A and B are shown apart, each in its own frame.
Chain A
Amino acid sequence: AQKITQTQPGMFVQEKEAVTLDCTYDTSDQSYGLFWYKQPSSGEMIFLIYQGSYDEQNATEGRYSLNFQKARKSANLVISASQLGDSAMYFCAMRELGSGGYQKVTFGTGTKLQVIP
């Protein structure tokens, strides 16, 4: 089974509109972390937002918010007021903490977001 599933290979959004990028995950760990990264065409991965499995509030970072639904094992990224510079690949990732505090990070296949003027 896929650890991280991103079902939307590509999405379009109108500039200034909000958009939701889907992510579901699979883990048996009680303690884990969920991340979203942005990868522009330049290739560099840019950290956007983090949600810990024990965090009760949904994470927010500026125009980014993470809609965390633990029971449904989903961690959707919401981008408000889209800008042309938001056009990029977006990756959902999960960090699982094994014994001894060692981490393993698994990435989804990504969603290509294109913002239309």
Chain B
Amino acid sequence: KAGVTQTPRYLIKTRGQQVTLSCSPISGHRSVSWYQQTPGQGLQFLFEYFSETQRNKGNFPGRFSGRQFSNSRSEMNVSTLELGDSALYLCASSLTGTSNEQFFGPGTRLTVL
């Protein structure tokens, strides 16, 4: 069974640009969560999608948005990038969202110059 995949793995953008990150969950998993990891703030929850609906949202500005498609693949979009958005963005999938395990992807490392 293939694991969680995230594309791209690395990304360099400049301030003011926008970026879209993609996450493909494990086959059969319907819940996808997104996290931002930075040295200063640690791991912070961004949002969770289940069956194409956003169920939970962390404390991030509206520049951060996401969506989930009918095949459970999810995308995360960040508009008007700021230097502070430089981070490792991790996606995690689980069967239902209340499962005991979340399986994480390798992450997308975003650098904003």
How far in angstroms is the closest Cβ of chain B from A58? Answer: 15
Binds A, one of B22-30, B63-71, B72-80, B104-112: B104-112
How far in angstroms is the closest Cβ of chain A from B69? Answer: 20
Task: Tell yes or no: A109 within 8 A of B by CB.
Answer: yes
How far in angstroms is the closest Cβ of chain B from A61? Answer: 11
Given the interface pairs A101-B98, A103-B97, A110-B42, the reply to whether A45 lies near B104 with Cβ below 8 Å is: yes
Given the interface pairs A45-B92, A50-B100, the reply to whether A104 lies near B106 with Cβ below 8 Å is: no
**Which residue of chain A lies nearest to B106 when distances are taken between CB atoms in the complex?**
A44
| Contact A97–B107 (Cβ < 8 Å) | no
| Contact A91–B43 (Cβ < 8 Å) | yes
Given the interface pairs A91-B43, A109-B42, the reply to whether A103 lies near B104 with Cβ below 8 Å is: no
| Contact A107–B97 (Cβ < 8 Å) | no
In the complex, besides A43-B109, A47-B104, A101-B97, 14 extra interface pairs with C-beta distance below 8 angstroms are A35-B102, A44-B106, A46-B104, A47-B101, A91-B43, A101-B98, A102-B48, A102-B55, A102-B56, A103-B48, A103-B56, A105-B102, A107-B42, A110-B42
- Total residue contacts A-B, CB cutoff 8 A: 53
- Interface range for B: 20 to 34
**Which residue of chain B lies nearest to A52 when distances are taken between CB atoms in the complex?**
B100
B42 / chain A contacts, CB cutoff of 8 Å: 107-110
A105 / chain B contacts, CB cutoff of 8 Å: 33, 45, 102
| Contact A44–B102 (Cβ < 8 Å) | no
Task: Tell yes or no: A106 within 8 A of B by CB.
Answer: yes
| Contact B43–A107 (Cβ < 8 Å) | yes
In Å, the complex CA distance between A44 and B104 comes to 7
A52 / chain B contacts, CB cutoff of 8 Å: 100
Task: Tell yes or no: A42 within 8 A of B by CB.
Answer: yes
Which 8 pairs, one residue from A and one from B, show the smallest C-beta to C-beta distance?
Answer: A45-B104, A107-B43, A50-B100, A102-B55, A44-B106, A109-B42, A43-B107, A101-B98
How far in angstroms is the closest Cβ of chain A from B4? Answer: 9
Report A33-47 CB contacts with B as 1/0, cut-off 8 Å: 101010000111111
